[in-house]
Amino acid sequence: MEPTKNEAQLIAASNILIAVVVTIDLFVITGWEGVNLYLLTVVNLIVLLIGFIAFRIKKRIRQKKLAASSPPSPHSSSPPT
């Protein structure tokens, strides 16, 4: 199963947002001034939520691909003896 267009866009946006926020966090840690720390904290939490949603989408897609590619188990369809 392939991700839908919206899922693929969310995953790509999530990856880009995470990279940008980590870069900004590194600037702040190294002493870069001029950033509202409250706003940065809120943005970090929002990106964390988006990243978690993207992770769940990736996990669901991976599980569906594995289920579709694996042959059915012989024990699942035969009655117990």
pLDDT tens profile 37-59: 899 999 999 999 999 999 999 99
Task: Map out the domains of the chain as residue ranges.
Answer: 5-67
Q: Look at 81 and 13; give whichever has higher pLDDT.
A: 13
pLDDT above 90 as % of the chain: 59
pLDDT at 75 over 90: no
- The answer to whether 47 and 21 have CB atoms below 8 angstroms apart is yes
**Rounded mean pLDDT of 7-12?**
92
The Cα 4–Cα 10 span in angstroms is: 10
**Can you give the pTM of this predicted structure?**
0.74
